[in-house]
Amino acid sequence: MPSSVSGAVMVGFCITLRGRCDLRVASDANAFFIETVLEHHGVLGCFTEISSNPARVDADGRLRISPFHDPASPPHGCSLCPENMCKGKIMERIQGTANGKHFIYIGDGRGDYCPSLKLGEGDYVMPKENYPLWNLISSNTQLLRAEVHPWNNGEELEKTLLKLVNMLIIPAQSSQFDYKCEMSNPVSTEGHPQALRVPH
């Protein structure tokens, strides 16, 4: 889920889709940050995999981040991606174990273009409009085999994602599902967000 999506929307999606979809994260941020944010929102257990740059807090309380692809190994060889991570390689690995399942890929950054190119017919890519992924897709739509569904805000993302998930799930299951994100303690949009505790 792109960082431009609010915490409330993310929580609603994760809780609703858990058990119905295989939710995974591929991010060029770092595992410590992603796991901390997901745990803070109570949705870490909704994800079957987090592929990101490994990170740990050392004895001095400093965050140490390593590249996802081991620098001692041969380069991943993808000219579209940074040296530390090729999300396209991650997508290929996941596809290799998917047993014919379809994908909905949500992204906004330049690094999301490579995995979008790996998607096939029956898959969907959801780029945020006027962000790097959208601009790259728009520059040559013929390169993608997946169906493109852009979005501009959390409401559009919610509506489109649920429509696509229902299209994929209905043939396999009898019931359609919907959700409205209601939280007893919503994330504030005013002022600074609440600081997260950093264990060390």
The pLDDT value given to residue 171? 56
- Name the residue with higher pLDDT: 60 or 74: 60
Cβ neighbors of 43 (< 8 A, separation 6 or more) are: 10, 11, 14, 15, 18
The pLDDT value given to residue 69? 93
Average pLDDT over residues 21-38: 94
- Name the residue with higher pLDDT: 191 or 197: 197
Tokens 């085999």 correspond to 145
Indicate the pTM of the whole model.
0.81
Question: 195 pLDDT exceeds 50?
Answer: no
- Name the residue with higher pLDDT: 136 or 155: 136
Average pLDDT over residues 160-165: 91
The answer to whether residues 20 and 169 touch, using CB atoms and an 8 Å cutoff, is yes
Question: 19 pLDDT exceeds 80?
Answer: no
3-state SS, residue 47:
strand
The pLDDT value given to residue 1? 55
Task: Classify residue 75 by its DSSP letter.
Answer: P
Q: What is the rounded CA–CA span in Å between residue 126 and residue 37?
A: 22
E-state strands within the chain? 23-26, 47-51, 55-57, 63-65, 104-107, 124-127, 147-148
Residues 167-173: contacts with CB under 8 Å, at least 24 apart: 168/102, 168/104, 169/20, 169/21, 173/20
- Write down the CATH number for the domain with range 7-169: 3.40.50.1000
Cβ neighbors of 91 (< 8 A, separation 6 or more) are: 26, 103, 105, 114, 115, 118, 119
The pLDDT value given to residue 126? 97
Average pLDDT over residues 25-44: 93
Q: What is the rounded CA–CA span in Å between residue 141 and residue 134?
A: 10
| 158 confidence band (pLDDT: 50, 70, 90) | confident
Average pLDDT over residues 56-67: 95
Burial (CB count within 10 angstroms: exposed 0-12, middle 13-18, buried 19+), residue 97: exposed
The pLDDT value given to residue 175? 43
Helices 154-169 and 7-17: angle between axes, nearest 10 degrees: 10
Average pLDDT over residues 9-13: 72
The pLDDT value given to residue 41? 87
φ, ψ dihedrals at 116, nearest 5°: -65, -35
Cα end-to-end distance, the chain, whole Å: 27
Task: Classify residue 65 by its DSSP letter.
Answer: E
Question: 183 pLDDT exceeds 50?
Answer: no
Question: 62 pLDDT exceeds 90?
Answer: yes
The string over 11-38, giving b where at least 16 C-beta atoms fall within 10 Å of a residue's C-beta and e elsewhere, is bbbbbbbeeebebebbbbebbbbbbbbb
